[in-house]
Amino acid sequence: MTAFSPGVALDRPAGPRTDYLRVRAGLASWLFTLDHKRIGVMYLVGILGAFLLGGIFALLIRTELLTPARTVMSADRYNQFFTLHGAIMTFLVIIPGIPAALGNFVLPIMLGARDLAFPRINLASFYLWVLGAVLAVLAIVLGSVDTGWTFYVPYATETTMGGVIPVLLGAFVLGFSSIFTGLNFIVTIHKMRPPGMTWFRLPLFLWALYATAIIQILATPVLGITLVLLIIERVFKLGIFLPALGGDPVLYQHFFWFYSHPAVYIMILPAMGIVSELISVFSRKHIFGYTFIAFSSIAIAVFGFFVWGHHMFVSGQSTMLTTIFSLLTYSVSIPSAVKVFNWLATMYRGSIALKTPMLYALAFIFLFGIGGLTGLFLGALATDVHLTDTYFVVAHFHYVMMGSTLIAMIGGLHYWWPKMTGRMYSERAGVIAWALVFVGFNLTFFPQFIMGAHGMPRRYYNYPPEFALLHQLSTVGAYLMAVGFFLTAAYLLHALFRGARAPANPWGGATLEWRCASPPPTENFEHPPVAGDPYDYSDIEYDPQTGGYVHVPRPAPAAPAAVH
Amino acid sequence: MALLLASLAMGLGAALVFYFAMRARLPQWPPPGTPPLPAGLWLSTGLLLAASAVLHAALRAARRDRLVTVRRLTRAAFALALAFLFSQAAVWFTAYARQMPPQLNMYAITFYLLTGLHALHIVGGLIPLGCVAARAARGRYTAGNHAGLRYCALYWHFVDVVWLVMFAALHMTR
The verdict on A243 touching B (C-beta cutoff 8 Å) is no
Query: CB A225 to CB B6 under 8 A?
Result: no
pLDDT band at A5 (very low <50, low <70, confident <90, very high): very low
B152 inside domain: yes
pLDDT band at A4 (very low <50, low <70, confident <90, very high): very low
Contacts of A218 in chain B (CB under 8 A): 6-7, 10
The verdict on B2 touching A (C-beta cutoff 8 Å) is no
Q: A256: nearest CA in chain B?
A: B14
User: Quick one: pLDDT at residue B165?
Assistant: 86
Lowest mean pLDDT among A101-115, A117-131, A299-313, B152-166: B152-166
Query: CB B14 to CB A187 under 8 A?
Result: no
Lowest mean pLDDT among A76-85, A285-294, B110-119: B110-119
Contacts of A221 in chain B (CB under 8 A): 7-8, 10-11, 14
User: Quick one: pLDDT at residue A161?
Assistant: 84
Query: CB B7 to CB A217 under 8 A?
Result: yes
Encode pLDDT of A384-418 as tens digits: 999 999 999 999 999 999 999 999 999 999 999 99
Would you say the C-alpha torsion A270, A274, A280, A283 has a positive or negative sign? negative
In chain A, positions 339-368, which contact chain B (CB-CB < 8 Å)? none
Query: Is the model's pLDDT at A154 over the cut of 90?
Result: no
Each residue's pLDDT, cut to its tens digit, for chain B (174 residues) gives 666 666 666 666 666 776 666 666 666 666 776 777 788 888 889 999 999 999 999 999 988 888 888 889 999 999 999 999 999 899 888 888 877 777 667 778 778 888 888 898 889 889 888 888 888 888 888 888 888 888 888 888 888 888 888 888 887 765
User: Quick one: pLDDT at residue A93?
Assistant: 95
For A128-140, what is the mean pLDDT?
92
For A125-146, what is the mean pLDDT?
91
A52: which residues sit within 8 A by CB, 6+ positions away? none
Encode pLDDT of A406-454 as tens digits: 999 999 999 999 999 999 999 999 999 999 999 999 999 999 999 999 9
B30 inside domain: no
Query: Is the model's pLDDT at A113 over the cut of 80?
Result: yes
Contacts of A229 in chain B (CB under 8 A): 18, 113
Which one of B4, B10, B109 has the shortest CB-CB distance to A240? B109
User: Quick one: pLDDT at residue B105?
Assistant: 72
The number of C-beta contacts closer than 8 angstroms across A and B is 51
Which one of B3, B25, B117 has the shortest CB-CB distance to A217? B3
What domains can be seen in chain A, in order of their start residue?
27-551 (1.20.210.10)
Which one of B7, B22, B103 has the shortest CB-CB distance to A221? B7
Encode pLDDT of A158-212 as tens digits: 888 888 999 999 999 999 999 999 989 998 998 888 888 889 999 999 999 999 9
The verdict on A231 touching B (C-beta cutoff 8 Å) is no
User: Quick one: pLDDT at residue A402?
Assistant: 94
Indicate which of A212, A222, A250 best probes the interface with B, i.e. most B CBs within 10 Å of its own CB: A222
Query: CB A238 to CB B102 under 8 A?
Result: yes
Q: Average model confidence (pLDDT) for chain A? A: 90
Query: Is the model's pLDDT at A13 over the cut of 50?
Result: no
Confirm whether the ipTM is greater than 0.85: no
Structural domain span for residue B89: 2-23+38-171
User: Quick one: pLDDT at residue A25?
Assistant: 84
User: Quick one: pLDDT at residue A363?
Assistant: 96
Query: CB A224 to CB B11 under 8 A?
Result: yes
B162 inside domain: yes
The total domain count for chain B is: 1
Query: CB A217 to CB B6 under 8 A?
Result: yes
Q: B11: nearest CA in chain A?
A: A221
Contacts of A243 in chain B (CB under 8 A): none
Pick the more confident residue, A368 or A554.
Answer: A368
The verdict on B116 touching A (C-beta cutoff 8 Å) is no
Read off the CATH number of the domain in which B137 is found: 1.20.120.80
Which one of B3, B14, B15 has the shortest CB-CB distance to A183? B3
Encode pLDDT of A489-545 as tens digits: 999 999 999 999 999 999 999 999 998 888 999 989 888 888 888 998 888 888 888
3-class secondary structure, A360: helix
B33 inside domain: no
B28 inside domain: no
The verdict on B10 touching A (C-beta cutoff 8 Å) is yes
Angle made by CA atoms A381, A382, A388, in degrees to the nearest 5: 75
A443: which residues sit within 8 A by CB, 6+ positions away? A473, A474, A476, A477, A480
How far away is chain A from the Cα of B123, in angstroms, using its nearest Cα?
A: 17
The verdict on A250 touching B (C-beta cutoff 8 Å) is no
Contacts of B4 in chain A (CB under 8 A): 183
User: Quick one: pLDDT at residue A158?
Assistant: 85
CA distances to A304, B49, B87, B125, B167 from B42, rounded to whole Å, are: 40, 11, 10, 21, 9
Q: Average model confidence (pLDDT) for chain B? A: 82
Encode pLDDT of A318-364 as tens digits: 888 899 999 999 999 999 999 999 999 999 999 999 999 999 999 99
Written in H, E and C, the secondary structure of chain B is CHHHHHHHHHHHHHHHHHHHHHHHHCCCCCCCCCCCCCCHHHHHHHHHHHHHHHHHHHHHHHHCCCHHHHHHHHHHHHHHHHHHHHHHHHHHHHHHHCCCCCCCCHHHHHHHHHHHHHHHHHHHHHHHHHHHHHHHHCCCCECCECHHHHHHHHHHHHHHHHHHHHHHHHHCCC
CA distances to A453, B1, B40, B135, B158 from B77, rounded to whole Å, are: 64, 20, 19, 14, 15
The verdict on A179 touching B (C-beta cutoff 8 Å) is yes
